[in-house]
Amino acid sequence: MQRRNLAKTALLTATAAALLPVAAKADMDANENVIFTADDPGHWKGVEALHVPVVTVSGSTLTVKTPHPMSEPHYIVSHSIVLADGKFLDRKTFTYKDTPVSTHMLPAGYTGPVTVTSTCNLHDFWVKSISV
Protein backbone atom coordinates (compact mmCIF):
# COMPACT_ATOMS: atom_id res chain seq x y z
CA MET A 1 0.00 0.00 0.00
CA GLN A 2 2.84 2.41 0.82
CA ARG A 3 4.42 1.73 -2.56
CA ARG A 4 1.18 2.79 -4.30
CA ASN A 5 0.98 6.00 -2.21
CA LEU A 6 4.62 6.72 -2.93
CA ALA A 7 3.98 6.34 -6.67
CA LYS A 8 0.91 8.62 -6.48
CA THR A 9 2.82 11.24 -4.51
CA ALA A 10 5.74 11.12 -6.94
CA LEU A 11 3.40 11.46 -9.91
CA LEU A 12 1.52 14.40 -8.35
CA THR A 13 4.78 16.12 -7.40
CA ALA A 14 6.19 15.71 -10.91
CA THR A 15 2.96 17.04 -12.45
CA ALA A 16 2.91 20.06 -10.13
CA ALA A 17 6.57 20.79 -10.83
CA ALA A 18 5.90 20.66 -14.57
CA LEU A 19 2.86 22.96 -14.34
CA LEU A 20 4.33 25.63 -12.04
CA PRO A 21 6.39 27.36 -14.74
CA VAL A 22 3.32 27.40 -17.01
CA ALA A 23 1.17 28.94 -14.27
CA ALA A 24 3.84 31.51 -13.42
CA LYS A 25 4.18 32.46 -17.09
CA ALA A 26 0.40 32.82 -17.40
CA ASP A 27 0.43 35.23 -14.46
CA MET A 28 3.28 37.29 -15.93
CA ASP A 29 1.59 37.48 -19.34
CA ALA A 30 -1.91 38.23 -18.04
CA ASN A 31 -1.82 41.73 -19.57
CA GLU A 32 0.01 40.78 -22.77
CA ASN A 33 -1.89 42.20 -25.74
CA VAL A 34 -4.44 43.77 -23.35
CA ILE A 35 -2.53 46.74 -21.92
CA PHE A 36 0.02 48.52 -24.10
CA THR A 37 2.88 50.91 -23.30
CA ALA A 38 5.67 52.64 -25.21
CA ASP A 39 8.04 49.90 -24.03
CA ASP A 40 5.59 47.07 -24.65
CA PRO A 41 3.37 47.83 -27.66
CA GLY A 42 2.57 44.14 -28.15
CA HIS A 43 0.93 43.36 -31.45
CA TRP A 44 0.48 47.10 -32.08
CA LYS A 45 4.22 47.68 -32.51
CA GLY A 46 4.73 50.61 -34.85
CA VAL A 47 1.70 52.67 -33.75
CA GLU A 48 2.79 53.44 -30.18
CA ALA A 49 3.89 57.01 -31.03
CA LEU A 50 0.27 57.88 -31.88
CA HIS A 51 -1.32 56.16 -28.87
CA VAL A 52 0.84 56.58 -25.76
CA PRO A 53 -0.48 59.55 -23.78
CA VAL A 54 1.84 62.54 -23.40
CA VAL A 55 1.53 63.91 -19.88
CA THR A 56 2.58 67.31 -18.51
CA VAL A 57 2.08 68.71 -15.03
CA SER A 58 2.03 72.39 -14.13
CA GLY A 59 1.23 73.04 -10.49
CA SER A 60 -1.88 70.98 -9.77
CA THR A 61 -2.95 70.79 -13.42
CA LEU A 62 -2.24 67.58 -15.29
CA THR A 63 -2.64 67.75 -19.07
CA VAL A 64 -2.92 64.67 -21.27
CA LYS A 65 -2.49 64.73 -25.03
CA THR A 66 -2.63 61.76 -27.36
CA PRO A 67 -0.95 62.63 -30.69
CA HIS A 68 -3.55 60.71 -32.66
CA PRO A 69 -5.49 61.83 -35.73
CA MET A 70 -9.23 61.80 -35.17
CA SER A 71 -11.69 60.46 -37.74
CA GLU A 72 -15.07 58.80 -37.51
CA PRO A 73 -13.73 55.27 -38.10
CA HIS A 74 -10.60 55.72 -35.91
CA TYR A 75 -10.25 57.93 -32.84
CA ILE A 76 -9.23 58.22 -29.18
CA VAL A 77 -12.21 57.36 -27.00
CA SER A 78 -11.00 58.51 -23.58
CA HIS A 79 -8.31 59.49 -21.11
CA SER A 80 -8.41 58.25 -17.51
CA ILE A 81 -6.34 59.28 -14.50
CA VAL A 82 -5.61 56.98 -11.55
CA LEU A 83 -3.59 57.98 -8.47
CA ALA A 84 -1.70 55.94 -5.87
CA ASP A 85 -3.41 52.83 -4.52
CA GLY A 86 -5.76 52.71 -7.53
CA LYS A 87 -7.68 55.84 -6.56
CA PHE A 88 -9.66 56.94 -9.63
CA LEU A 89 -9.33 60.70 -10.22
CA ASP A 90 -11.00 61.58 -13.50
CA ARG A 91 -11.97 60.55 -17.01
CA LYS A 92 -12.54 62.55 -20.19
CA THR A 93 -14.34 60.98 -23.15
CA PHE A 94 -14.07 62.12 -26.75
CA THR A 95 -15.94 61.85 -30.01
CA TYR A 96 -14.15 61.65 -33.34
CA LYS A 97 -14.79 65.40 -33.73
CA ASP A 98 -12.75 66.27 -30.61
CA THR A 99 -9.03 66.86 -30.13
CA PRO A 100 -7.70 64.22 -27.70
CA VAL A 101 -6.48 66.66 -25.02
CA SER A 102 -7.74 66.68 -21.46
CA THR A 103 -6.91 68.58 -18.28
CA HIS A 104 -7.33 67.25 -14.78
CA MET A 105 -6.85 68.81 -11.35
CA LEU A 106 -4.64 66.86 -8.97
CA PRO A 107 -5.55 67.00 -5.28
CA ALA A 108 -3.85 69.91 -3.52
CA GLY A 109 -0.28 68.98 -2.61
CA TYR A 110 -0.50 65.55 -4.24
CA THR A 111 2.80 63.80 -4.84
CA GLY A 112 3.18 60.25 -5.96
CA PRO A 113 2.39 57.96 -8.87
CA VAL A 114 -0.10 58.84 -11.57
CA THR A 115 -1.29 56.33 -14.15
CA VAL A 116 -2.72 57.79 -17.33
CA THR A 117 -4.63 55.81 -19.94
CA SER A 118 -5.55 56.53 -23.52
CA THR A 119 -8.08 54.28 -25.22
CA CYS A 120 -8.29 53.99 -29.00
CA ASN A 121 -11.34 52.48 -30.64
CA LEU A 122 -9.12 50.37 -32.93
CA HIS A 123 -5.78 50.03 -31.10
CA ASP A 124 -6.96 49.32 -27.58
CA PHE A 125 -5.74 50.48 -24.14
CA TRP A 126 -2.46 52.43 -23.69
CA VAL A 127 -0.90 53.29 -20.35
CA LYS A 128 1.76 55.69 -19.14
CA SER A 129 2.88 56.02 -15.52
CA ILE A 130 4.60 59.08 -14.08
CA SER A 131 5.49 60.45 -10.65
CA VAL A 132 4.61 63.95 -9.53
- What confidence tens digit (pLDDT) does each residue in 81-130 have? 999 999 999 999 999 999 999 999 999 999 999 999 999 999 999 999 99
DSSP per-residue codes, 95-115: -TTS-SEEEEEPPTT--SEEE
Domain 35-131: top CATH class: mainly beta
Query: Which of the four pLDDT bands, split at 50, 70 and 90, describes residue 15?
Result: very low
CA 116, CA 102: separation in Å to the nearest integer?
A: 11
* More confident: 118 or 9: 118
3-state secondary structure of 120: strand
Given a cut of 90, whether residue 19 has pLDDT beyond it is no
Output the pLDDT for position 50.
94
Residue 55 burial (CB < 10 Å; 0-12/13-18/19+)?
buried
**How far apart (Å, rounded) are the C-alpha atoms in residues 65 and 52?**
9
**Average pLDDT, stretch 11-29?**
46
Write down the domain spans for the chain: 1-30, 35-131
3-state SS, one letter per residue, for 18-87: HHHHHHHHHHHCCCCCCEECCCCCHHHCCCHHHHCCEEEEECCEEEEECCCCCECCECEEEEEEEEHHHC
Q: pLDDT of 21-60, one tens digit each? A: 444 444 556 777 789 999 999 989 999 999 999 999 999 9
